[in-house]
Amino acid sequence: MDGDDDERYQRYKALKTAAGKEPREYRDWQVASGKWAKSRDFGNQFRDGMCQELGRTVERGWVTESYYRTRDGKRFHDSAIIRGRHAMEFKAGNIGREALDQLKKDRHALRDGWTIEWYTVEGAKVDKEVQEKIRELQSRFPERFRIITVTREQMMRERKQGQRKPLPTRRGNERNINSANVNAPNANVRADTEATSAGNIDPPLCRIRLPNPGTLRRGSLPGSRREMWGNPNSPARSVVPQS
């Protein structure tokens, strides 16, 4: 094994041992690590393409790989805007039980006034317990927890865009979305929301309704709806839930 791999493997073994789990042998770890890296890159490309299509970029205050501190640990979001208290999670494939921990931490952020959007791909398999937790959050926070289902064609198109033009990541304090003072009074939350609607933070996209919306099917996740939208400055389109 080379120096870098050896160092990463030793860190991996130490973490597994500390957690009371049996670490993989080096060859198995190397194969699994390679698959994870490909999956991570695939997801990041989908994220970067969607962020650009939505107009949620660094230039407009959106930060990739942001985290939020909760009593259950840090919740890393794929992208967030601090001033707007708005975060996004992108799932380019099937959603397994590992999402339960993310949803548990999302509940804390939602209680503190955040809006959270999960972007999923049509036809992806979703763990049953994950579906139940999603329903719980949608029932508790119907206006601020949103499931948005995109088509596989849209996902691949946005992934290619993200592959061509990856977004930069920010480090240091800008990654910690707690710096937005999430416990601010409700009046400040309303002010941020009003500023968003006015276009000072993230102006709404121009919605384009299909001629026959009745032909659209519900998304694969509970409560998700599909509707065509388009940025007036871009020919690309995607799907978002009905408001």
Please give the pLDDT value at position 103: 97
**58 touches 79 (CB < 8 A):** no
Please give the pLDDT value at position 107: 96
- Does pTM top 0.75 for this prediction? no
Strand order in the sheet with 73-81: 62-70, 73-81, 86-90, 115-121, 145-150
As a whole number, mean pLDDT of residues 9-38 equals 85
Please give the pLDDT value at position 168: 80
Please give the pLDDT value at position 181: 41
Collapsing DSSP to helix, strand or coil, 96 comes out as coil
Higher pLDDT, 184 or 63: 63
Please give the pLDDT value at position 90: 96
Statement: residue 108 has pLDDT above 60: yes
Q: Amino acid letter at 180?
A: A
Residue the block writes with tokens 């919306």: 213
Q: What is the mean pLDDT of the chain?
A: 74
Return the number of other C-beta atoms located less than 10 Å from residue 192's C-beta. 22
As a whole number, mean pLDDT of residues 10-35 equals 86
Please give the pLDDT value at position 240: 37
